[in-house]
Chains A and B, each alone.
Chain A
Amino acid sequence: MTRPLLQVNNLSKRFGGFVALESIDLTVAPGERLGLIGPNGSGKSTLVNCLCGTLRNETGTVTFDGAPLEGLATHQRTRLGIARSFQLPRPFVSMTLADNIRVPLLYAGGRTKPQLGTAAIDQRCAELLGLVGLAAKAAQWPRDLTQVEMRKLELARALAADPKLLIADEAMAGLSHSEVEDILTLLVRLNENGITIILIEHIMRAVMSFSERLVVLVSGRKIADGPPLEVIADSQVERAYLGH
């Protein structure tokens, strides 16, 4: 059996008296496409923040690619290969699109990977912007972008960190039908290139078509984990998540 890329054991997180996550166990295999769903306030983003190091979990362990993540800052986890896109796009507003991509290219390698030269960085910037269809706008600023382009910039910036695991946090929120298809196609292509993806999404059509496995969180607890069709038919999921 192959070693899991991400292993979460008994992870809990509280905000004062509020239990945001309770004893979460989760395993993600290399190359997997995992959908993570749950109603608002169910703890999805908190879980992402705990995985990425933005929040510290009170109990439990997270192991990534065989290495424990305890005590590692967000940038150190990024350098290990965990990249994320944000629920609300957070571009570097004073930088052009190319410069936005340049930041992870300059920093995400850390000291372990060889530092790219200027020409190689420029080339990689162009490649990544081309991959998400923003090559023509490399010299523009994020304020000139549409919502879907902003989402694509987020993904391109996450990819520039050369991740093994990409966590796409509601990367399709607020997009039209065709724009959702655009992003889905892109995510599938990335997965085919070997990147493991956790997709957090409310658009069920997108989640169902993308995910090989579905995990459902409700009130900070994992209530289902399995093949999408089985999970969605689960009466507990129907009751808690779909409301009937």
Chain B
Amino acid sequence: MRSPVFFVVALAVGVLVFTACRLVHNDYVFVAGYTVVQYVVLATAWNILGGYCGYVNFGTAAFFALGAYSTVAIHKLVPLPLPLLLLVGGTVSGVVGLGTGYQTLRLRGAFFSIATLALAVVVQTLVTNWDFVGGSRGAYVLRPQTIAPLGNYVQYLFLTMLVLAVVAVTAARMIERSRLGNGFSAIRDDELAAEASGVPTLRLKLVATTLSGAFMGMAGAPFPYSVGYVDPASSFNLAYAVNSIAMPLIGGTTSWIGPLTGAILLGTIQQVATVTISSAVNLLIVGLLLVAFVIVAPNGIVGLVTAVLRRGSKP
């Protein structure tokens, strides 16, 4: 399926999901749905660098929080429409992603991962000490109660995140099937051999960190409007880093459908657990599922399904 057609189909699925949610007549569905779809964007964004290029990023929370705090800062200066805030958040995180990439991409394996972890700590320290956006006290962001033509702003937030998820997944699919994706895969498999094959590895990795960071920032931009109060503890929550890694790993990292599947599965389980048990068990669920998948399906759900299909097609 060609990318424009895929985008239209994905958009249609998004509209169907949104319409189905409206039929429930319960705003909590939109709140829970927003969280799940936000993780679809984060997992897809993480996978562009982590899954396609093989560079494990532990700093998702930093990029997410940069998007969120961009919104807080702009909200205090001049309130802008949500789509513009997404663009600003994406640009800020994308630029930081580019800079981080430039500084760290000569590092490989665990060293790169540790550097991204350090980035999260540095950004959190800066934000905690930046009074303009609330510092350690946090900041309240009052969102509009209604918006035309939807009426309910919670629904608008969900719809915005849904559209962002469609864009992110379509972009990931396009990358996967493009010359860029081919280069990313070569880098993941063997960087030295990729370079010897003419792949400009540093440049491609910078593209990956920028795109990945930008989508994470866009996912974080509506966060202040979603929760109403932003502080470093909530914006730099460990759950963002852990989930954005676990979801692609559980779904499968080599294809766009892996992070999507993992995020929907894990995100939904977490939302159900939040209302039936406690949100405190969310990370425990992630841990247990990760252990189970490492043992049963190290290549994730996509890898498992592919292997079963391949076995089935052999005479």
Q: Are B189 and A92 in contact (CB under 8 A)?
A: yes
Work out how many contacts link A and B, with CB atoms closer than 8 A: 79
Question: Of B192, B198, B201, which contacts A90 at CB under 8 A?
Answer: B192
Q: Are A74 and B195 in contact (CB under 8 A)?
A: yes
B197 interfacial by beta-carbon distance below 8 Å: yes
When C-beta atoms are compared, the residue in chain B nearest to A162 turns out to be: B198
Q: Are A94 and B189 in contact (CB under 8 A)?
A: yes
Residues of A within 8 A of B201 (CB): 75
A110 interfacial by beta-carbon distance below 8 Å: yes
Complex: how many Å from CA A109 to CA B197?
10
Q: How large is the interface on A (under 10, 10 to 19, 20 to 34, 35 or more residues)?
A: 20 to 34
Q: Are A108 and B254 in contact (CB under 8 A)?
A: no
Binds A, one of B147-155, B180-188, B243-251: B180-188
Q: Are A161 and B198 in contact (CB under 8 A)?
A: yes
B194 interfacial by beta-carbon distance below 8 Å: yes
Binds B, one of A21-29, A36-44, A96-104: A96-104
Q: Are A83 and B196 in contact (CB under 8 A)?
A: yes
179-213 of chain B: CB within 8 A of chain A? 179, 182-183, 185-186, 188-190, 192-202
Residues of B within 8 A of A160 (CB): 197
Residues of B within 8 A of A95 (CB): 185-186, 189
Residues of A within 8 A of B179 (CB): 106-107
Q: Are A86 and B193 in contact (CB under 8 A)?
A: yes
Complex: how many Å from CA A24 to CA B168?
52
Residue pairs across A and B with Cβ atoms less than 8 A apart, 16 shown, are A74-B196, A75-B195, A75-B201, A78-B195, A90-B193, A92-B186, A93-B189, A94-B185, A95-B186, A99-B182, A99-B185, A103-B198, A107-B198, A107-B200, A157-B197, A160-B197
Given contacts A74-B192, A86-B192, A110-B198, 12 further A-B contacts (CB under 8 A): A74-B196, A78-B196, A91-B189, A93-B190, A94-B188, A95-B185, A103-B186, A103-B199, A107-B183, A107-B197, A107-B200, A158-B196
Q: What 3 pairs across the A-B complex have the smallest Cβ distances?
A: A108-B198, A107-B198, A92-B189
